[in-house]
A = this chain, B = another copy of it.
Amino acid sequence: MEWKNLDTLKSFEKLQALKGKVDIAKELSGPDGAARVNRYLTPMAAGLCFSYAAKQVDDEVLAALEDLVKEQDLLGKYAALYNGERVNTGENRLVLHQLCRGQLGNDVIVDGVNKREFYVEQTKRCAEFAAKVHSGEIANEKGEKFTTVCQIGIGGSDLGPRALYIALENWARANGHLKLEAKFISNVDPDDASAVLMGLDAAHTLFIMVSKSGTTLETLTNGEFVMDALKKEGLDPSKHMIACTSETSPLAKSDAYLDAFFMDDYIGGRYSSSSVVGAAVLSLAFGGEVYQEILDGAAAEDLLAKNETLTENPDLLDALIGVYERSVEGYGTTAVLPYSQALSRFPAHLQQLDMESNGKSVNRFGEPVHYQTGPIIFGEPGTNGQHSFYQLLHQGTDIIPLQFIGFQNSQIGNDVTIEDSTSQQKLCANVAAQIMAFACGKKDENANKNFNGGRPSSIIIGEKLTPAALGALLAHFENKVMFQGFIWNLNSFDQEGVQLGKTLAKKVLSGNMDGALKAYSTLLGI
C-alpha cells in the first residue's frame, strides 16, 4: 500500500487546472437544468439518493476525480481497512467499525478472536439485555420496570448515539417503538448532570457508563455524581448501572455494574455508534430489532462504497467533491443543513466525525502537509437556518459549500393543509428553492437585493427518515470522511490534538502552575 500526499499526484495538478471551470448558475438555469439534475444523481442504500447537480463538477472534473481515485488507490485503501490492516498507523491499530454491521472482506482475526463474531456477539448481548429490561425480567430493587435509560459519556460516546436517538425518538413514539426514554449526561459542568437528574425518575432509570478506556475524566466524574444522587435517594447504584467499555478497562469487571458490554481499540470513539456504545442505549430505547435496522442500513451503504464505478459510489463521490472544494477551490467550511427537525443534532455528530478525523496538519508519517485539510463543519435544521445564518450563506463575502438532507415524507405523519399545501410540502419546496437560489442567484439593479449565485450544494434525499435510512446516512458520512483522509494522506483515526489541553488541566487541578495559566485560573476562581 503506497500512501502519497495529495500534492504529489498528477490528477491533483489536473484538478487545479480545472479550478473555477464549472458555472453552476449556467448549468442549472433554463430548460436543460432538469436533465443535469436527473443525471448527476446516485442511489444510496435504504432508498436514499445523492444529488450533486448543484456542485461545481462536470464530466471533465469527474474524469479528473476518477483519475485521483486510481492514482491514490482509494478503493485499495478501503479494502486494506476492512481486511484488517493497521490503517491507524500512529496508534498501530486496525480500524474495524464497519465490521460491527457487516463483513466486507476477509475474516479479521486478532489474537485468535474473529472480530466480526465478537462484535456481533456484543450487539446480540445488548439486544438480549434490552429485551429483559423491557419484559421486566431485569428490574429495579422493588421489581418495577425501568422507564428511562441515561447514557453517561462524552464525545463519541455521546454525540453519535444522542443524534441517532433524537433522530428516531418521535418516529418511535408515534409507531409504538419507544420502549424507554433516553437521556444523556456528558459535560463535566455539574449543572449538566444536576439538570438531567432533576428531569428524570432515578428509581426507574438505568444508567450506562460509556468509556472505552474507563478513564475519561468527565465520564468517571459524572458516574460518581450519579451514584451519589442514587445513594441519596436510598437506591443501590449497582442495580441501576451498566457499562460499555473495553474488556481490559477498570469498568469491565466491576461489581458496581449490573452488566458490561464490550468494544475494543479498533473502534474509534467518533466511529463507535455501531458498537455497543450505540447498541446498548438504542436497543434499550427502541428494541434490538430497530437497532439492527440501523446496522443493516449502514452495512448496505458500506457495500456501495466498494463500487468501482465512481458515479455509482455516493460516499466516494461526496468525498472527492469535498476535497475539490477544500483543496482546489479553497473553501474552508461546509454547512450541513438537514430539512428534518429529527436530525437537529446530526450536524453536531458530523462536526466531531469530520473535524476530529481530518482537522490535521501532518500526514500519516508525521510530516507537515502543504495543502488545506478538513473543513469546519456546522449546521442547523432548515427551515430554521433560513431565518438565521442563511443571509451570510447567500450574500456574505465567502462561499460556503452546502450539504442538504431532505425527505419526501414526515416521520410522524400529522400535518395540516394551508393554502393548498401541507407543512411537509412547504418544507420540501423550501429546500428545492434554496438549492436553486444558492446556485443561480438573481440579478438585481439594487446591489443589496442582488444574489450572485455560484454557491454549490448537494442534497441527500430519502422517502422517510427510517432506522435503515439513518444507518445509511451514518455510514455515508463515515465513509466520506475516511476517503477524504486517504486523499489527504492523513491518519483519520487518531486525535493527538486533544492531549495538550488535558495535560494542562491536570496541572491546574494539582496547583502546579504559574504565569499566565495561574492568572487565568485565579480569574476563574480556582
Mark the stretch among A66-74, A243-251, A277-285, A353-361 that contacts chain B: A353-361
Shortest CB distance A294–B (Å): 19
A429 near B526: Cβ-Cβ < 8 Å: yes
Contacts of A358 in B (CB 8 A): 392
B30 near A515: Cβ-Cβ < 8 Å: yes
23 example contacts (A-B, Cβ-Cβ < 8 A) are as follows A29-B515, A51-B523, A173-B198, A189-B383, A190-B412, A190-B427, A194-B410, A218-B383, A333-B376, A355-B392, A356-B388, A356-B389, A356-B391, A360-B392, A372-B397, A376-B398, A390-B498, A395-B497, A408-B525, A421-B509, A432-B504, A432-B517, A463-B525
A325 at the interface (CB under 8 A from B): no
Distance A352 CA – B380 CA, assembled complex (angstroms): 11
Distance A37 CA – B135 CA, assembled complex (angstroms): 59
A424 at the interface (CB under 8 A from B): yes
A355 near B427: Cβ-Cβ < 8 Å: no
Contacts of A436 in B (CB 8 A): 504, 516-517, 520
Residue of B191, B441, B461 touching A500 (CB-CB under 8 A) = B441
Not counting A224-B418, A391-B495, a sample of 20 additional A-B residue pairs whose C-beta atoms are within 8 angstroms of each other reads A34-B519, A154-B383, A155-B384, A190-B416, A194-B410, A217-B426, A221-B416, A356-B389, A360-B397, A361-B452, A366-B446, A366-B448, A372-B397, A391-B498, A430-B501, A433-B507, A434-B504, A436-B516, A436-B520, A449-B496
Most interface-central of A49, A437, A439 (chain B CB within 10 A)? A437
Distance A332 CA – B436 CA, assembled complex (angstroms): 25
Mark the stretch among A12-20, A99-107, A334-342 that contacts chain B: A334-342
B515 near A34: Cβ-Cβ < 8 Å: yes
Distance A513 CA – B187 CA, assembled complex (angstroms): 48
Contacts of A500 in B (CB 8 A): 394, 437, 441-442, 451
Minimum-distance CB pairs A-B, first 6: A359-B392, A155-B387, A33-B516, A408-B525, A433-B504, A37-B519
Distance A173 CA – B199 CA, assembled complex (angstroms): 10
B432 near A190: Cβ-Cβ < 8 Å: no
Chain A contacts with B in 160-206, Cβ cutoff 8 A? 169-170, 173-174, 186-195, 198
Residue of B190, B368, B420, B435 touching A520 (CB-CB under 8 A) = B435
A31 at the interface (CB under 8 A from B): yes
Contacts of A414 in B (CB 8 A): 190, 193-194, 225
Shortest CB distance A513–B (Å): 9
Distance A322 CA – B459 CA, assembled complex (angstroms): 33
Distance A173 CA – B198 CA, assembled complex (angstroms): 9
In the complex, per-residue mask of A98-131: 1 if CB is within 8 Å of any chain B CB, else 0: 0000000000000000000000000000000000
Contacts of A225 in B (CB 8 A): 414-416, 423
B448 near A228: Cβ-Cβ < 8 Å: no
Shortest CB distance A150–B (Å): 15
Chain A contacts with B in 269-291, Cβ cutoff 8 A? 269-270
Distance A433 CA – B526 CA, assembled complex (angstroms): 12
A3 at the interface (CB under 8 A from B): no
A461 near B523: Cβ-Cβ < 8 Å: yes
Distance A459 CA – B396 CA, assembled complex (angstroms): 27
Contacts of A140 in B (CB 8 A): none
B516 near A34: Cβ-Cβ < 8 Å: yes
A36 at the interface (CB under 8 A from B): yes
Contacts of A393 in B (CB 8 A): 359, 497
